[in-house]
């Protein structure tokens, strides 16, 4: 690859071959720019100060015995100390990895043992959990980022542990491109989490390729709100800023994301589908509460803009009158709305990790927020596709980024090859060999299609496709996306239909949507009582019927049940990254599922 040409105009750090070298270049070039901050500037750290802190913490970690190849466990919320300590360990050639905050002691213990960690870093809220998990493992030292506690090392004590003869510069310069950078543990939808080993070479290629496909400006501002254990957070708000030199604001509570957005005014904004779904529902509720005249104006403006979006997507000309009307709506309505949300200065909007319903994407395109779907996975160091600048093809996840090869196997599985492919799964050579073939092609587990222009469309996970009793293949994820966007009441939905005569669904209410619905209808918000009300039942019937109008007959939901529970990330039903745990759901709610089919059999007999 001729990166010099492809990255013309990008910061010089992108031509460095390790994350350490790129970081060191950036702290020199961007010294006075704020690198890490918290809301309200409670903490504000410039790139120069970032480099100084990394130097001190790295010396301290070395004094505690951390050296090249050693793994370092990190259990923290989104906060600047994560960036500081992770980067410090990286400069030793060590291998820092993050743990989901929702993990149980047993889950944490599995990761500590698998990684072979001797040092763990945490904060007081997680200290009892980490201590319980670390018992009987190789962990001998716990670094506590806030205050002091017996049997732990404070940050001050960490810095004081540095050896007088420690040579920081020689140490980071000794880190090679093939050195292990981090371990990303998969979310465990199909079993125990696997440790994805990512090298400096993998991540440097990922960053180069992404920026070659989607150029970024150096004055950027991003919000770190996804878990640090998620590859998207590590790439987009930790590693990428090291080369670009922009400002990262840590948001420790994802529920406060849009409060942070109003203050930060991010230049790029990335959300998983649920973030965009909830924002759409919230905006629609706001529009519905406007005075009749204003409500009609908003409705007309959005419908006009949607018509323009659909014509553009179809490659058809936009009538001058329509374009002029949308331009007026942009100036008078859409631009002020984006500014009020804190997204008025965003130059890029992204979504990934799961399918997003077309109507959600079209809605935000109409509001002047052209969301680009990206696609990737931990095993690919983050993303492998991106939309070409100025060309977003709704319904696809873009084209292969520079230097990335895509192909579709005979059974429809998407295959990827390139320097972004992981080194392998930690301690799992057999599973690594099953995933990466002898020619370097990685089996992604996703079923997809490539169109004539090279745009990739993802159908679903290979192992999650529904094959009904008649042999029809269906994507449950796409059906579920339709259901979730049909009503703000619906937080989660899971479709069942494998080897069955028709599809049924389990539905879980969205806490915010349920609360708003209860207030609007004067109902008791207690979940167990709310789901039994005629109003909720009618709304869910309407929502399922509305979703069905967008689905093929064989895909439609024939019966559904609403559950008196909330599904939380990291629980029995959802992974920490909010992916459905389909097999555990099937076992846990087997009685409810069988009751839906039994009711159907009775109805058929009647």
In this predicted structure, what is the pLDDT of residue 34? 97
Q: Which tens digit of pLDDT belongs to each residue from 504-538?
A: 999 999 888 888 889 888 998 888 899 899 999 99
Mean pLDDT of 203-225: 92
Q: Which tens digit of pLDDT belongs to each residue from 413-441?
A: 999 999 999 999 999 999 999 999 999 99
pLDDT higher than threshold 90 for residue 150: yes
pLDDT higher than threshold 80 for residue 70: yes
Confidence of residue 190 (pLDDT cuts 50, 70, 90): low
The structural domains of the chain, ordered by start, are 3-175+216-267 (3.40.50.12780), 273-344+347-462 (3.40.50.12780), 465-605 (3.30.300.30)
- What's the whole-number average pLDDT of the chain? 92
Confidence of residue 600 (pLDDT cuts 50, 70, 90): low
Confidence of residue 606 (pLDDT cuts 50, 70, 90): very low
pLDDT higher than threshold 70 for residue 402: yes
Residue 536: burial class (beta carbons within 10 Å; 0-12, 13-18, 19+): buried
| Cβ neighbours, 10 Å, residue 293 | 8
Q: Which of 497, 499, 508, 559 is nearest to 530 (CA)?
A: 508
In this predicted structure, what is the pLDDT of residue 504? 93
Phi then psi for residue 424, to 5 deg, are 155, 180
Q: Which tens digit of pLDDT belongs to each residue from 530-589?
A: 989 999 999 999 999 999 998 888 899 999 999 988 888 888 888 877 788 888 898 999
Confidence of residue 132 (pLDDT cuts 50, 70, 90): very high
In degrees, rounded to 5, the angle at the alpha carbon of residue 249 between the alpha carbons of residues 247 and 250 is 140
Confidence of residue 604 (pLDDT cuts 50, 70, 90): very low
pLDDT higher than threshold 80 for residue 227: yes
> Mapping DSSP to helix (H, G, I), strand (E, B) and coil, where does residue 279 land?
helix
Which token pair is 90?
């990286």
Mean pLDDT of 349-357: 81
Q: State the Cα–Cα distance between residues 332 and 344, nearest whole angstrom.
A: 13
Q: Which tens digit of pLDDT belongs to each residue from 426-483?
A: 999 999 999 999 999 999 988 899 999 999 998 877 777 788 887 777 888 889 888 9
Confidence of residue 216 (pLDDT cuts 50, 70, 90): confident
In this predicted structure, what is the pLDDT of residue 266? 95
Mean pLDDT lowest for which of 55-64, 424-433, 454-463, 490-499? 454-463
Q: State the Cα–Cα distance between residues 414 and 447, nearest whole angstrom.
A: 6
In this predicted structure, what is the pLDDT of residue 603? 47
pLDDT higher than threshold 60 for residue 601: no
């Amino acid at each position: 690859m001729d990166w010099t040409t492809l990255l013309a105009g990008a910061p010089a750090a992108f031509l460095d071959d390790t994350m350490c070298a790129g970081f060191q270049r950036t702290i020199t070039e961007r010294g006075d720019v704020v690198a890490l901050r918290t809301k309200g500037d409670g903490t504000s750290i410039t790139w120069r100060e970032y480099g100084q802190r990394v130097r001190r913490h790295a010396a301290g970690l070395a004094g505690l015995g951390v050296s090249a190849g050693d793994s370092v466990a990190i259990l923290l919320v989104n906060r600047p100390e994560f960036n500081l300590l992770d980067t410090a360990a990286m400069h030793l050639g060590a291998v820092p990895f993050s743990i989901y905050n929702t993990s149980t002691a047993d889950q944490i213990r599995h990761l500590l043992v698998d990684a072979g960690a001797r040092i763990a870093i945490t904060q007081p809220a997680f200290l009892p959990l980490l201590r319980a998990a670390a018992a009987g493992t190789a962990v001998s030292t716990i670094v506590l980022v806030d205050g002091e506690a017996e049997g732990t090392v404070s940050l001050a004590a960490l810095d004081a542990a540095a050896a007088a003869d420690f040579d920081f510069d020689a140490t980071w310069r000794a880190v090679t491109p093939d050195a292990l950078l981090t371990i990303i543990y998969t979310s465990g939808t199909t079993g125990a989490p696997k440790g994805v080993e990512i090298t400096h070479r993998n991540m440097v290629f990922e960053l180069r390729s992404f920026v070659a496909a989607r150029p970024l400006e150096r004055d950027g501002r991003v919000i770190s709100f996804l878990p640090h254990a998620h590859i998207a957070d590590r790439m987009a708000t930790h590693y990428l800023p090291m080369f670009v030199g922009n400002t990262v604001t840590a948001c420790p509570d994802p529920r406060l994301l849009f409060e942070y957005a109003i203050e930060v005014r991010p230049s790029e904004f990335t959300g998983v589908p649920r973030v965009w779904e909830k924002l759409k529902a919230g905006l629609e509720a706001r529009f519905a509460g406007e005075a009749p005249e204003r409500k009609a104006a908003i409705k007309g403006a959005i419908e006009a803009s949607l018509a323009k979006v659909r014509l553009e997507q179809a490659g058809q000309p936009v009538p001058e009158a329509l374009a002029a009307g949308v331009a007026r709506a942009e100036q008078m309505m859409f631009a002020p709305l984006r500014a009020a949300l804190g997204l008025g200065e965003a130059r890029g909007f992204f979504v990934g990790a799961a399918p997003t319903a077309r109507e959600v994407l079209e809605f935000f395109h109409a509001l002047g927020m052209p969301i680009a779907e990206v696609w990737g996975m931990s095993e690919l160091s983050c993303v492998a596709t991106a939309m070409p600048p100025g060309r977003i093809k709704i319904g696809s996840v873009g084209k292969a980024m520079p230097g990335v090869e895509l192909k579709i196997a005979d059974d429809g599985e998407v295959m990827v090859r390139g320097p972004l492919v992981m080194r392998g799964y930690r301690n799992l050579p057999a599973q690594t060999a099953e995933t990466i073939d002898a020619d370097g092609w990685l089996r992604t587990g996703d079923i997809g299609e490539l169109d004539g222009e090279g745009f990739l469309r993802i159908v679903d996970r290979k192992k999650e496709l529904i094959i009904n009793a008649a042999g029809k293949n269906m994507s449950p994820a796409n059906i579920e996306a339709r259901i979730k966007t049909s009503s703000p009441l619906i937080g989660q939905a899971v479709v069942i239909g494998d080897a069955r005569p028709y599809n049924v669904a389990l539905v879980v209410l969205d806490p915010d949507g349920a609360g708003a619905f209860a207030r609007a209808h004067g109902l008791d918000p207690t979940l167990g009582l709310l789901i039994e009300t005629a109003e909720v039942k009618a709304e869910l019937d309407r929502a399922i019927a509305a979703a069905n109008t967008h689905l093929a007959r064989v895909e439609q939901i024939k019966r559904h049940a609403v559950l008196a529970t909330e599904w939380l990330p990291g629980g029995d039903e959802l992974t920490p990254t909010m992916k459905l745990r389909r097999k555990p759901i099937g076992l846990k709610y087997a009685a409810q599922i069988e009751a839906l089919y039994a009711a159907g059999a009775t109805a058929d007999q009647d």
